[in-house]
């Protein structure tokens, strides 16, 4: 159950956690091209929080997952306001968090055979650096792009194998790209 909770917290980094006062509505909304990945998130939401969610195709062609829950809103808001709370959680929660955030904000780069994870939030990047080190993954120098998005890269076949074994992807397309990179 802890790994699923962590996964949802990490995956929510790709979404919007919101409260609509006019409707007294608390929710999480994630847009994604991959229906398969949103179905993974949906299952984790059900297991971790016993919350039903809905996935629909938008008019723009991508998929949107919606879940309405004051409890989930409160928990996700706590982690958004203070990402360092992840460091106080169990190793399984932390593993799930890394799985979720890499699925949501990670990339597999074939051209230089490396992985990256990105965020605009400096505190989230700081937490990711700490957790990756704890899981035995050596990172490269973080870099910031023109939009102030900070990316953490890591290279090397052993490092990538360690990532696959210790954390791994639940996102089908990213998992396939990693397997190709390691073959």
CB 132 within 8 A of CB 86: no
Same domain, 70 and 112: no
Tell me the mean pLDDT in the region 147-165: 94
pLDDT, tens digit, 9 for 90 and up, residues 80-109 = 999 999 999 999 999 999 999 999 999 998
* Of the residues 22, 55, 84, the one at which a domain ends: 84
Please check the confidence at residue 24 and state whether its pLDDT lies above 90: yes
Rounded CA-CA distance 78/51 in Å is 18
Structural domain harbouring 107: 93-182
How would DSSP label each residue in 56-88?
EE-TTS-EEEEEE-HHHHHHHHHHHH-GGGGGG
Same domain, 127 and 177: yes
Nearest of 111, 79, 98 to residue 137 by alpha carbon = 98
Same domain, 58 and 117: no
CB 65 within 8 A of CB 55: yes
Same domain, 99 and 128: yes
For the beta sheet containing 63-68, the strands, ordered from the edge strand earlier in sequence to the opposite edge, are: 15-20, 25-32, 63-68, 54-57
Residue 52: CB atoms within 10 Å: 11
Tell me the torsion sign for CA atoms 41, 46, 47, 48.
positive
Domain count, the chain: 2
* Of the residues 51, 84, 117, the one at which a domain ends: 84
Same domain, 38 and 101: no
- pLDDT at residue 110, as a whole number: 83
CATH of the domain at 120: 3.10.28.10
Cα distances (angstroms) measured from residue 94 to each of 6, 9, 37, 78? 6, 10, 20, 15
pTM: 0.95
């Amino acid at each position: 159950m802890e790994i699923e909770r962590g996964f949802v917290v990490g995956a929510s980094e790709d979404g919007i956690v919101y409260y609509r006062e006019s409707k007294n509505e608390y929710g999480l909304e994630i847009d994604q091209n991959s229906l398969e990945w949103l179905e993974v998130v949906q299952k984790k939401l059900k297991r971790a929080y016993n919350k039903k969610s809905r996935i629909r195709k938008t008019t723009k062609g991508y998929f949107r997952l919606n879940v309405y829950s004051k409890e989930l809103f409160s928990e996700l808001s706590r982690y958004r306001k203070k990402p360092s709370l992840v460091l106080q959680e169990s190793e399984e929660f932390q593993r799930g968090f890394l799985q979720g955030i890499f699925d949501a904000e990670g990339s597999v780069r074939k051209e230089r055979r490396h992985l990256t994870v990105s965020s605009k939030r400096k505190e989230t990047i700081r937490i990711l650096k700490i957790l990756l080190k704890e899981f035995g993954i050596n990172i490269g120098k973080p870099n910031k792009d023109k939009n102030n998005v900070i990316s953490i890269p890591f290279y090397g076949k052993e490092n990538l194998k360690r990532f696959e074994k210790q954390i791994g992807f639940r996102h089908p397309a990213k998992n396939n790209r990693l397997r190709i990179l390691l073959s």
